Amino acid sequence: MPRLFAETCILAHSLGIKYVWIDSICIRQDKEEEWNREAPQMARYYQNAWVTVVAANNAMANGLLNMRRTEPVPRMTRLPYMDVNGEQNGYFYLQSTRPDVLQKEYSVGVGDSELLQRGWVFQEWRLSRRIIAFSDSGFFLHCHTLGSMSPLGDHFNGAGVRLGQNSRYDDHIMQDRDFSPSSEWEDIVAKYSGLGLTYLTRDRLMALAGVASEVGRTIKALKVTSSIPGPILSDDVLARQYVCGLWLTHIHRGLIWEQATPGFRERLPGIPTWSWASMASHVTDGDDKRVLTGMRVRWPRKDFYQRQRQMVCAIHKATTVPVDIQNLLPQFSDRPVPDYVPEYEYGNENRFVVLTIYSPLMPIQIERLLSVVDADLADEVTSALGNRSDEYESDPRIMHLDHPSRKGLWRCICLPTDPSRIVGWASVEHPELQSDEKIASSSGSIYALFLERCEEKGGWFHWGSALISRVVFTILLVRRVSIPGFNESFERVGVGRLFGEEVNRRYLSTEKTTMSLV
């Protein structure tokens, strides 16, 4: 038995705990049937455990109880001990327990550890009631009620852990009047989406299933209904709740996720293109090897034209397509089963859903990447700046520098009849459309699927005459694909905004059409 596991058993025995559950031992990873049965239960194990042991950095090699610091301890001071006669008679030591010092060690030893870059650890951390985190800096305690502390009980801010804190969905959170499931979920996905998984295709949604089930429990307890005004969602859709990493009650927000960082793009099989979970990226690991990881995503600021927005699309149906449990690919048929509902809505059986959408479709032309100056202007015009993630809200300057418009991720949108005039911006994540040459070759095949119409009267930011009216549209970028059993099928290639009077005129003259988003 590895030293780490043996010492975990010793720790449990000393705490009077009879049983230790270790996933790599208790679940045979190479047995697909057993894994599919046990993986959805993992969240319950962490929620109901008395304590979860987190072993960061070199714990696997050194064990829990024999940590080795990589640097000298800077906060330990040795002072001479003077006895009652005024003579030196030994030494005594002082160790700083200032919150900022503890927080730094916690951030370096735990928050920045490789362990917390793993997708499965995300829900373990958020759902566990108590955590003992062992690191090269020593060990730390965390409780979802009392927060983070040293072994001596010194409290400090544990915000250095990127996975976030205070996110356990319990009764005290469900009773919070300001609790918003959609906003909370956007924060969760923004933090989780860029994490790595050994079996990325298989586990992309499963590693978040436990957290999703807790959010679902909260939504049901709060009796959350759709926040979309008007008859946008059919009764058939509202009968469902969670599909492919998004919530149908807030699907209008869920669909407008955007790539947050540049890099190589790859699409994961067996997940619909409209889901953030379908996208992957490449990163360089500690051995300078390129490995596949999840693509980090973000959502626009919540108050983007909150009062003036109007939903212009309707979602009539959400059809779950059965998947082959071995290769996780959807089993399309010329006669799809319309009423197929998986037994476990948070599992891989529910990983592919086709949305039937009723909305205007307008051909557009995507052009060059926007310069920083042009991107900033487009951002100001469409009021898309902002990321709800706490790591950006603390400093607007950091938020602005990290915004996708500053990373060369936005391209300009033009109308096919006037390619010299910019009428919007596009964030294109499709793997086949990552170069100017590929974008140029796609001319005539990409459409704007209209989701929202936002009208601002009185000039931008209420500057200018009250008679001035500007219109901004939130759109998905889609192109046609052929899928058995579904007519007028389209895949997502990106997201964006359109603006201007000419766009508004064309929108008003474009008839709505029914399509399948796959």
- pLDDT at position 283: 81
Q: How far apart are CA 399 and CA 392, in angstroms?
A: 5
Note every long-range contact of 14-19, with CB atoms under 8 Å and residues 24 or more positions apart, other chains counting. 15/50, 15/51, 17/50, 17/51
Residue 328 has pLDDT above 80, yes or no: yes
- pLDDT at position 470: 79
Instruction: Tokens 């030196």: give the residue.
Output: 88
Report in angstroms the alpha-carbon separations of 502 from 466, 470, 471.
20, 11, 10
Tens digits of per-residue pLDDT, 6-15? 889 999 999 9
Residue 220 has pLDDT above 60, yes or no: yes
Stretch 457-473: mean pLDDT: 57
Residue 31 has pLDDT above 80, yes or no: no
Tens digits of per-residue pLDDT, 338-362? 677 787 888 888 899 999 999 999 9
Query: Residue 162 is encoded by which pair of tokens?
Result: 């990127």
Stretch 61-71: mean pLDDT: 63
Give the model's confidence band at 226: pLDDT under 50 very low, under 70 low, under 90 confident, else very high: low
What is the edge-to-edge ordering of all strands in the sheet holding 52-55?
52-55, 130-135, 138-143, 147-149, 155-156
Could you tell me which residues come within 8 angstroms of residue 28 by beta carbon, excluding any fewer than 6 positions away? 34, 35
Could you tell me which residues come within 8 angstroms of residue 83 by beta carbon, excluding any fewer than 6 positions away? 89
Q: How far apart are CA 260 and CA 247, in angstroms?
A: 21
Are 479 and 447 in contact, with CB atoms under 8 Å apart? yes
For residue 116, the SS3 value is: helix
- pLDDT at position 239: 55
Query: Residue 372 is encoded by which pair of tokens?
Result: 């920083």
Identify the CA nearest to 98 among candidates 142, 154, 139: 154
Are 293 and 263 in contact, with CB atoms under 8 Å apart? no
- pLDDT at position 151: 72
Higher pLDDT, 349 or 430: 430
Q: How far apart are CA 149 and CA 169, in angstroms?
A: 21
- pLDDT at position 40: 74
- pLDDT at position 373: 84
Stretch 27-49: mean pLDDT: 76
pLDDT > 90 in the chain, percent: 36
What does the mean pLDDT of the chain come to?
A: 80
Are 433 and 442 in contact, with CB atoms under 8 Å apart? yes
Residue 230 has pLDDT above 50, yes or no: no
Residue 177 has pLDDT above 60, yes or no: no
Q: How far apart are CA 433 and CA 422, in angstroms?
A: 19
Q: Among 189-198, 246-255, 386-395, whose mean pLDDT is lowest?
A: 386-395
Identify the CA nearest to 362 among candidates 314, 416, 431, 281: 416
Q: How far apart are CA 144 and CA 156, in angstroms?
A: 13
Give the model's confidence band at 190: pLDDT under 50 very low, under 70 low, under 90 confident, else very high: very high
Give the model's confidence band at 499: pLDDT under 50 very low, under 70 low, under 90 confident, else very high: very high
Could you tell me which residues come within 8 angstroms of residue 498 by beta carbon, excluding any fewer than 6 positions away? 364, 413, 423, 424, 448, 472, 473, 475
Which parts of 341-498 fold into alpha helices (H)? 372-382, 390-393, 396-402, 436-441
- pLDDT at position 289: 80
Q: Among 44-53, 88-97, 210-219, 390-399, whose mean pLDDT is lowest?
A: 390-399
Identify the CA nearest to 491 among candidates 414, 426, 432: 432
Identify the CA nearest to 496 among candidates 170, 259, 145, 246: 259
Highest mean pLDDT among 146-150, 284-288, 325-329, 458-462: 325-329
Q: How far apart are CA 407 and CA 517, in angstroms?
A: 28
Tens digits of per-residue pLDDT, 80-121? 999 989 899 999 887 666 666 677 777 666 766 677 778 888
Highest mean pLDDT among 44-48, 132-136, 488-492: 488-492
Tens digits of per-residue pLDDT, 286-319? 677 888 899 999 998 765 545 567 889 999 889 9
Note every long-range contact of 77-82, with CB atoms under 8 Å and residues 24 or more positions apart, other chains counting. none
CA atoms within 13 A on the CB side of 288: 0
Highest mean pLDDT among 79-88, 151-160, 175-184: 79-88
Are 518 and 354 in contact, with CB atoms under 8 Å apart? yes
